[in-house]
Homo-oligomer: A and B are copies of this chain.
Amino acid sequence: MDCKKVFLMRAKRKLMQKSMAIRDIISRLALPLLVTASLVGCATPTLRGTGDLGVVIERATGSVQILDTTHRSSLGKVNGLGDLSHASVSYSRDGRYAFVFGRDGGLSKVDLLTQSITHRVIQAGNSIGGAISQDGKLIAVANYEPGGVRIFSVDDLTPIADIPAVGANGKRSKVVGLVDAPGRRFVFSLYDAGEIWVADMHKPQQPILHKFTDVGKEPYDGMITSDGHFYAAGLFGEDGVALLDLWNLQAGVKRTLVQVGRHGEKLPVYKMPHLEGWATTGDLIVLPGVGQHEIILADQNTWQEVARIPVAGQPVFAIARPDNRQVWINFAFPDNETVQVLDLPSRSIVKTLKPGKAVLHLEFTPRGDQVWVSARDDNRIDIYDPETFEHIGRLPADKPSGIFFTSRANRTGL
C-alpha cells in the first residue's frame, strides 16, 4: 500500500519540522501513527457510490483502470493482474469488487474503492472467463487447461468445488461459454466433447450436473438470454447453434439457426464473434454472422432467421443500446477501425463511425446515455452519446480491450 507509506512519511516529515524534542519521540509515535494510517487506509478511497464505476482491461500491462462514468474520468490503475490478453470481469453484488479472469488462470479480486487487489489465485493453467452466481456468493471460472470449471468463494477466493470436464468420450475437454443462470445454476459448454452441462449449485460443495451430450461439433462460446430463459452455444465444427431451454431441461438441446455458421468457410474467420455480444432485444436476437460480412436477425421465440443485414466487415460484438432500438457492431481485422450502428425498426445501418485503430470492445452505461469504445492500437477509450453520435470524451489507456461497468452486477449472464 504505497499511499499508506506516503501518508506515514508525510506525517513524520511534518513532525521533523517541529522541535528536536519532538524528533526524540518520533519512534514512540510510530505506533499510533500506524494505527491512524490503517484507519485512514489510502487517503484516496473516498466515500462514494459504486453504481457509476467500471474497469477497462489494459492487456499489454496486466492492469485495469478504474472508470467513473459520471465524470467520464479514470480514477486510477491497479497493476499485477497477470496475462490479460483475453480477460473478462464479473462484479460482486454490491458493485465494489471486480473479479478479473486472466488468460493465465489468474483470478483476482480487485477493490474499486481502495484501488487494490484484495485476493489473487492462479487457479489453472489457462482460463477463458467466468461468472458469478445468482446469489453473489460463488465465482466460477472456465478453464482450458486443465479443462473444467473451478468454483470459489467470493469472500476470499477459497476453493469450493472443482468440476473436471470429462466428456462422454472419456477425455478432458476445454470449457467455454460459462454463464450464471437463475435457480443457482452455472451453464457451460465442452468444446472438445461437444456437450453442454448445467451445474446445480444448491449445495455448493456438491454440484449436481445435468449433462447434454452430442449437442454439435465444437461449441466455441455460449450465451444466455437476458431473462435467463435460453442458453445458446455457437458451433464451430458445423453450421448452427445448440439451444437449451433452461425452463425445460427435459426437452434437451435442439439444433437451430443452421444458416449462422461458416457455410464451408467461404471467408476465413479472422476472429470468432463473442456470443456474449449477441443482442437480445425483446423479440429479436441479433447475431454476428461467423466469417460473413453480415448481421443475422432471428426471432427470439422461434430461433428462426428473420433477416440478414450487410455490414462493413466480419462482426465481432453486436451490442444492443439499452433501449433495444439500435445495435452497435464492431469488426474483425482488417475492418477493426470501424463501428456501425444498426437501427432495428428500419433494419438499416444508420451510422458508420471510425473511433480508432483496433476497436476491441464497447460498453453502454446501463440507461444508455453513453457508450465507451476501446481502441487498442490508439491507446485510448472514446466516449460517444449514443443518441446523437457526438464524441463526448476521451481517456488514455494502455492497449485497452474489454470495458466492464458495475451495472453488470445486476444482470444475469454477465
- Residues in A lying within 8 Å of B, measured CB to CB: 11, 14-15, 18-19, 21-22, 24-25, 28-29, 32, 36, 39-41, 43, 45, 47-53, 69-70, 91-97, 112-114, 134-136, 182-184, 227-229, 247-248, 281-283, 300-301, 322-325, 345, 365-369, 387, 406-407, 409-412
Q: Inside 8 A of A248's CB, which chain B residues have their CB?
A: 345
- Minimal beta-carbon separation of A350 from chain B (angstroms): 13
The answer to whether A324 and B134 have CB atoms under 8 Å apart is no
Q: Inside 8 A of A40's CB, which chain B residues have their CB?
A: 36, 39-40
The answer to whether B21 and A51 have CB atoms under 8 Å apart is no
The answer to whether B50 and A323 have CB atoms under 8 Å apart is no
A209-B411 Cα distance, complex, nearest whole Å: 34
The answer to whether A368 and B134 have CB atoms under 8 Å apart is yes
Q: Inside 8 A of A229's CB, which chain B residues have their CB?
A: 282, 323-325
User: Apart from A21-B25, A50-B94, A50-B95, what are 18 other A-B pairs with CB-CB below 8 Å?
Assistant: A18-B29, A19-B25, A22-B28, A39-B43, A40-B40, A41-B47, A48-B113, A49-B92, A49-B97, A49-B112, A49-B406, A51-B95, A93-B365, A134-B368, A227-B322, A229-B323, A283-B301, A367-B412
- Minimal beta-carbon separation of A143 from chain B (angstroms): 24
A22-B41 Cα distance, complex, nearest whole Å: 25
The answer to whether A45 and B47 have CB atoms under 8 Å apart is yes
Q: Which of these, B22, B300, B323, contacts A25 with CB under 8 Å?
A: B22
A51-B48 Cα distance, complex, nearest whole Å: 11
Q: Inside 8 A of A49's CB, which chain B residues have their CB?
A: 50, 92, 94-97, 112-113, 406
Task: Given A49-B113, A50-B49, A134-B367, answer yes or no on A228-B94 (Cβ-Cβ < 8 Å).
Answer: no
- Minimal beta-carbon separation of A220 from chain B (angstroms): 26
Residue of A28, A49, A283 contacting most chain B CB atoms (<10 Å): A49
Interface residues of A: mostly helix, strand, loop or mixed?
A: loop
A271-B268 Cα distance, complex, nearest whole Å: 63
Q: Inside 8 A of A53's CB, which chain B residues have their CB?
A: 94
Q: Inside 8 A of A135's CB, which chain B residues have their CB?
A: 369
Return the chain B residue nearest A43 by Cβ. Answer: B39
A155-B48 Cα distance, complex, nearest whole Å: 14
The answer to whether B95 and A95 have CB atoms under 8 Å apart is yes
Task: Given A40-B36, A227-B282, A369-B134, answer yes or no on A114-B47 (Cβ-Cβ < 8 Å).
Answer: yes
Q: Inside 8 A of A45's CB, which chain B residues have their CB?
A: 47
Q: Which of these, B21, B282, B412, contacts A21 with CB under 8 Å?
A: B21
Q: Inside 8 A of A300's CB, which chain B residues have their CB?
A: 282
Q: Inside 8 A of A367's CB, which chain B residues have their CB?
A: 93, 134, 136, 182, 410-412
Q: Inside 8 A of A409's CB, which chain B residues have their CB?
A: 51, 366
A49-B45 Cα distance, complex, nearest whole Å: 12
